[in-house]
Structure 1
Amino acid sequence: MTTATAARRGRTPFAQAAAIVAQREIMTKLRSKAFLVSTALFVGAIFVMVLLSSLGPQLFDSTTRVAVTEQTASAIEGVEGYEVEVLGSAQAVREAVESGDVSAGVLQDDGPSGLLVVGDREAPTGVLQLLSVQPELELLDPNAPDPMLTYFIGIAFGIVFFSSAITFGQTIAQSVVEEKQSRIVEIMLATVPARAILAGKVLGNSILAFGQIALIAGVVLLGGAVTGSQLLLDGLGMPIIWFVALFTIGFVMLAALYAAAAALVSRSEDLGSASSPLMMLIMIPYILVIIFNNNPLALQIMSYVPFSAPVAVPMRVYLGTMEWWEPLLSLAILAATTVGAILFAALVYERSLLKTGAMVKWRDALKR
């Protein structure tokens, strides 16, 4: 329909209508103190976590004080985590240990090691292990990612994706139901096409979600710059970029489906049952990525599944198990799926928006 035809019929052109709806969605959120405060707290909590993860070992660093004589000082001096106090005699070392001024003492001895470790009530395990004779060590892959660190990185990506998708998805769904329940949508449809309303809601909330994700990514990289963390600046730089790119497209898909699900119901009380399939589509991949964060085959499969790709692909990029073309292929699959989901959601939304009463089934919504 051309602009002139639309104007003659009293209907706003599609692009203009979608922009108006998107602006309304954005401004409604930005005027909400609850949204602004929750976003600030969430971003602030992430920044604090980044600082603690990098500065934590320094903030909570504890050194072990060890008393030695001049003859045994060389056995401990220069070892990280140990503070050496050189005393004049073996008796002075024993008195320092007994008084609690030091955690342990190291003296000369006639035994095979030539050293004697002195403790008070219990054996100073750390000092004993330090002075024990250990075999030579060969590391086959010294640069391999720490499994525990990989686990927490997977959780971090998953939580950000999950919380943002659920928060803004539910916002879209609640907005659709409120307009349908109050019958405002019937007034809107007199001048605005249904698909323009859907496009505006998806566009407006997507912009808000993208802004929040970009803000989080910026805070993480800022924290890395402040603390000088090579993990955040180098190790997670490219995974974060891919996460933002995949989330941008994936959220549009989820936003459209949430709006379609909300159009199926006429009451807020029924929204949970209508959106539960979408909740499962978000939660199951999120859980699987966390469980199989060290399983290369499972991550490879999930990187090509649209709902899990925004978390699986950054994980594979971080682990270095992905060829250069694989993230592009995952992005293309996600983009194609998003186009199909938008077309599907548009049909459901358009054909269910004016239906009231009991919840409309998905298959019934597709029927003319």
Structure 2
Amino acid sequence: MSRASFTSAIGLVIEREIMVRVKSRAFMTSTIISIVLFGALVAVSGALPTLFSSTDKVAVTSAGAEAMEGSDDVDLVTVESADEAKDLIRSGEVTAAVVESDDSPVGYSVIAERSAPESLTGALSEVPTVQLLDPDAPDPVLTNFIGLGLGIVFFMAAMTFGNTIASSVVEEKQSRIVEILLASTSARVLMFGKIIACTILAFAQIGLTALSVLIGAAISGNDLVLGKVAEPIAWFIPLFIVGFVMVAALYAAAASMVSRTEDLASTSSPIMMLIFLPYMAVIVFSSNESVMAVLSYIPFAAAVAVPMRVFLGTIEWWEPLVSLVILAGTTLLALLLATRIFERSILRSGPKLSWKQALTRS
């Protein structure tokens, strides 16, 4: 049987993989749920500050303490001066401060970073003068939402479509369909076709979800999503695509090392940890600029860490480019590694191989 050309062969593999997934009820259901869920979350985003808020800590001088007397909605922290209160606000230890002020008609004023908490202004019997230290500071609620949102998108896409590739490879090995396929094409074409097909599907699913988010933002009038999040998302897209190709290639290699679906977890679990641990590090250390700077250059964390730093304004213009170059280089190495393992292991049956065995066996 003559082999098809590289272009036609890889096109057939891509078409086959896409049609199989599109016809899958599980895939369509997960896509619809993702679109509806994220769109609905943004549509009701006006309630997010309330959902994420807790009791506010407020610094007070002697005059501020008198003004806040009897309030149960805030936790008071006594300070000696307005300067001390400002230091606590900048460090994040308190959300605002109430201090004496000769310029205020009520004798005291409120100091805050970007906006005065509603629980504080509502507790004051008279409306004071409000001084903002940094009115353009990023909303911490939106910052957390971006980190969690982008992280979930990347993590779920990598896990879902990575397992899709892995399951497809193992099923074809078990049914011996792979032997028929390799009679008319090469193992490299088969692997690359699966990776490209799943990348297209993942990007299409995320694109529809992003469209749903924009519609939800328009409905709720959320200009933060429509405006401030645009640049972080613009960097997330190329980082996601390159990073996803890396993950997909590793999953294809992991699947080629086993002959039974039951053994797949043992070879794919290291990949899952490589995705999960950096993602958790981004969430845990989101407020630590030094750690986030390091995570920006770690391939499995870059897709989330870089957009978060772009939103916070703590990143230089060249850093996302360097991060993308490092990620692209790592992805190229992953593709070379995965191709070597896939070609050596795809036709092998019997006991599962370890990563070391797959790399060293001739």
- Shorter-chain TM-score tier: 0.7 to 0.9
Count of paired positions: 294
Structure 1 residues 1-368: aligned runs within 5 Å = 10-54=2-46, 129-131=123-125, 138-367=131-360, 368=362
Give the whole-Å Cα distance in 1 for the aligned partners of 2:168 and 2:123: 63
CA offset at residue 219 of structure 1? 1.9
Q: How high is the TM-score relative to the length of structure 1?
A: 0.76
Gap regions ≥5 residues in structure 2: 51-105, 107-118
CA deviation map 1:197-252 (0-9, x unaligned):
00110011110001111222222223223332121111101111111111011101
Question: Do the aligned residues in 2 keep the contact of 1:210 with 1:248 (CA within 8 Å)?
Answer: yes
Question: Does structure 2 retain, via aligned residues, the 8 Å contact 1:173–1:261?
Answer: yes
Cα gap change, 1:141 to 1:197, in 2 (>3 Å): same
Does the CA contact (< 8 Å) of 1:246 and 1:310 recur in 2?
yes
Secondary structure of 2:44's partner?
helix
1:12 CA drift (Å): 1.8
Contact 2:249 2:338 in 1 (8 A): yes
TM-score by length of 2: 0.77
Instruction: Tell me what 1:84 maps to.
Output: none
Give the 3-state SS of the residue equivalent to 1:131 in structure 2.
coil
Q: Deviations over 1:151-206 (max 9, x none)?
A: 22211111111111100000000000000111111121111100000011001111
Report the counterpart of residue 90 of structure 2 in structure 1: none
Contact 1:214 1:244 in 2 (8 A): no
Deviations, residues 117-145 of structure 1 (Å, cap 9, x unaligned): xxxxxxxx9998331586x6543222222
Whole-angstrom CA distance in 1 between matches of 2:122 and 2:182:
79
Q: In structure 1, what is the Cα distance between the partners aligned to 2:121 and 2:33?
A: 43
On the 8 A contact 2:45/2:222 being kept in 1, the answer is no
Higher gyration radius (CA)? 1
Query: The residue matched to 1:274 in structure 2 has which SS?
Result: helix
Q: Does the Cα contact within 8 Å between 1:147 and 1:294 map onto a contact in 2?
A: no
Deviates more, 1:185-194 or 1:145-154: 145-154
**How much does 1:311 deviate?**
0.4
Looking at structure 2, the residues matched to 212 and 40 of structure 1 have their Cα atoms a distance apart, in angstroms, of 9
CA separation of 1:133 and 1:210: change in aligned 2, threshold 3 A: closer
Stretches of structure 1 lacking an aligned partner (at least 5 in a row):
1-8, 59-112, 114-124
- Shift in Å at residue 57 of structure 1? 8.4
SS in 2 for 1:304: coil
For 1:131, the aligned partner's letter is: S
Distance 1:190 1:133, change over 3 A: closer
**Amino acid of the structure 1 residue aligned with 2:202:** A
Look up the equivalent residue of 1:197 and give its one-letter code: L
Q: Let me know the Cα RMSD of the aligned residues.
A: 2.1
Q: What is the identity, as a one-letter code, of the residue corresponding to 1:250?
A: G
Higher deviation after alignment, 326-335 or 144-153:
144-153
Shift of 1:54: 3.3
Q: Distance in 2 between matches of 1:357 and 1:351?
A: 14
Structure 1: how far apart are the matches of 2:123 and 2:48? 25
CA contact (8 A) 2:39 2:214 kept: no
Name the CA shift for 1:55/1:183 in 2 (closer, same or farther; >3 Å): same
Report the residue type matching 2:200 in the other structure.
I
Q: By how many angstroms is 1:286 displaced?
A: 0.8
